[in-house]
């Protein structure tokens, strides 16, 4: 895997942890819930729009982040309203990222 990609994702993961910790500390939101949301919003669009890696690997990495976030929400809250809301928004993020990536690739071709 590309070293710059790993470094960039590492920075985004560190930023996600810092943001989640600060929000938990100062605003009182649950760390796990906010971490899963921030992980999805910061990383999935950046991965899907990176043209330096193959599309299949981009999709696999984005799905892995979704699985991690879904696992966090499910293990902390169970199958309740937060889990359903997270799954709906996660699907919207995936669909939007795929459509934007497809339209950018179509325009440049």
- Alpha-carbon distance of 10 to 19, in angstroms, equals 14
Angle at 44 between CA 60 and CA 79, to 5 degrees: 85
Quote the DSSP letter at residue 52: T
User: The domain containing residue 52 runs over which residues?
Assistant: 3-108
* Cβ 79 vs Cβ 70: under 8 Å: no
Q: How many domains does the chain have?
A: 1
What pLDDT, in 10s, does the model give residues 59-76? 888 888 888 888 888 887
Total-model pTM: 0.69
> What is the chain's pLDDT, residue by residue, as a tens digit (109 residues)?
567 767 777 788 888 888 888 888 888 777 777 788 888 887 888 787 777 778 888 888 888 888 888 888 888 778 888 788 888 888 888 888 888 878 887 777 6
């Amino acid at each position: 895997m590309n070293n710059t990609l790993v470094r960039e994702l590492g920075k985004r993961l560190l930023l996600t942890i810092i943001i989640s910790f600060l929000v938990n500390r100062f605003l009182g939101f649950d760390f796990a819930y906010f971490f899963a949301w921030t992980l999805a919003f910061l990383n999935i669009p950046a991965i899907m729009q990176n043209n330096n890696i193959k599309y299949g690997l981009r999709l696999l990495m984005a799905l892995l982040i979704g699985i991690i976030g879904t696992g966090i929400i499910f293990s902390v809250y169970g199958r309740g309203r937060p889990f359903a809301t997270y799954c709906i928004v996660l699907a919207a993020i995936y669909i939007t990222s795929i459509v934007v990536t497809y339209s950018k690739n179509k325009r440049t071709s």
